[in-house]
Structure 1
Amino acid sequence: MTVPEQAQQRTRPERVRRVSMADVAKLAGVSSQTVSRVSNGHAGVVESTRQQVLAAMSELGYRPNGAARALKWGSFRTIGVILSNLVTTGNVRTVDAIAHSAAEAGYAITLLPVTAPTQERVRGAFTRLGELAVDAVVVIIENHLLDAATVTLPPGAKVVVVDSDAGEHYTVVDTDQADGTRQAVEHLLDLGHRTVWHVAGPEGSYASGRRTDAWREALRRRRKRVPRVLRGDWTAESGYAAGLELAREPSCTAVFVANDQMALGVLRALHEAGRHVPEDVSVVGFDDVPDAAGYFPPLTTVHQDFTEVGRLCVERVLQQLHDEDVPSGATLVATRLVVRSSTAPPPATT
């Protein structure tokens, strides 16, 4: 052996042996079966024994082998989430709700954002999640994609789709966009406003389209004039730009904004233009973000129950994994109007 080879042999790190379940069992003074039950969260282990096993795991740095557990139990206990972005309030709160509901059921989640979703990118995301070993997938794609005839998800995949017009092909959990919009528009009309203007979300968004259609239908049902649609991109900045346009419309006394962030921008624009809310213009948002009550004035808005959306997504996933009957079509989560100080009857001169 040459000198360089001898030096390399001396400096080569020794292979570290993986801590086994048997090692944990020996240190804890219990059987390997008990360690397995603690590792998998099974009931029926005395609490003092459980703590003893957990302490041994911590001391040895033991980590269960996920692949081995999947082979034994037939499950990775992980749910993949494919989503178009983590920017909008709705997506963030939906993912948060899914994560909490999954954790309560003993599952973890793996996030895979897909920017500018296309058929190819969605398929690629499924392939990637397959490599990451997940049991099922929740898809949160904002734009119209899954309702296109050319788009198909992998056959046999356990899939739940959130807020998308995916038809009867997939299990869908959706906020009742139409009824929430109806409540907002009728609230403003019942206050005496002659019509309701609308700041919509992005044109390609499913939620935006559903809310715009429902706004238009609510006005027509009450035989009211349907104003032109102003469009934003869910941000407060785009709402501000739309609000400046609305401030120049003397006939505008009521506005339904497709989300609370854009409504915040509308409020600022109206204030800067000298149009008082709600004395001159009433504003209603959609989402009921935690800060909505802290807007000036506090925002009347449509409340979405994101916690229930997340719970139902996980429930539907588990029903599929357990081969249980899953309700056909979309499961709609009810919305409700939260009335605060940003709405009032119109000025007496209108």
Structure 2
Amino acid sequence: MRNLITDVPGVLVGNAQDVRAATGVTVAVFEQGVVASVATLGGAPGSRAVTLLEPEMTRGVVDAVVLSGGSLYGLDAAGGVTSVLCAQGKGGTFGGITLPVAVQAILFDLINGGEKSWLNEPLTIRPPYWDLGREAARAASQDFALGTVGAGYGATTVNLKGGLGSASTVTGRGFVVGALAAVNAIGSATIGDSPYFWAGAYEQAGEFGGRGWPSQVPTEALQLRFKGQPAPVAATTIALVATDAKLTKSECKRLAIMANDGLARALRPVHAPNDGDTVFAAATGGAAESLGPAGEPPALTELGAAAADCLARAVARGVYEATALPYRNAVPDFRQRFGGR
């Protein structure tokens, strides 16, 4: 086990970033098409092709999930990913044409200090996201970096650098569950200005410092702090949870809804009006064990709880592993503030 979402067999992840622009793309590529759904609880989301993931829609299989910086400009990334998937022969065939499906969610990292030249010269400079999407898809593998990489490259939280995080676990019934998160939260992953993570209760093997929880949460740590005070600003944490269980699209929808609780366990506040918080859920169906008849609610409940715990851990790891951007007044990273373990 790598403690990464790629512990789920059939899931590969690739990252690509534009250092000068301080932005990037992360792609989860599935070796075989998977059943997937989505739950969006943020008030200002940006996405591509997510409506087809609703249980009542016809299409039931996707080939990749794209997480990207760049806000609406970042939606170009799925085009680059699709070109790679097509070359790999992934996707359905309609009238002799191969049509891969890459769904996507975006986060807002346009004012983090990077040089977004296409904003100043939109008719002459193309945003980098199509190329980043292609590069990330081509880099997809079982091993990948965390922190200031991919979609997490330009991400921040209210008080610390955000980043890309991942975690995995095995349920009591033997299903593998993993999470992948690009943490660009409107709020904080830590309890006030302390080195303790809100997700500390779910930490495994010291994966984000091993500090656990404080003996008592100070009153001042419960005072709300979030980006955009006094002026509003956009933020977003986007994520994917995956399992090797065999699920229907309706069951994936429930898994995505339950997994969103992981964001609430790891971030404060979350799902705000200017957030675009979106969580995808995918089921590869490769497990030897069956979930049981009609989804067997206890087994699906166990999967959902594991996905939420994994996502909370992935959020904390994304912040813990991040490195601050090299700009004046950049948000500090965790180690700058609190050191290592």
TM-score norm. by structure 2 comes to 0.25
Which structure carries more helix by proportion? 1
The structure having more radius of gyration, on CA atoms, is 1
Which structure carries more strand by proportion? 2
TM-score norm. by structure 1 comes to 0.24
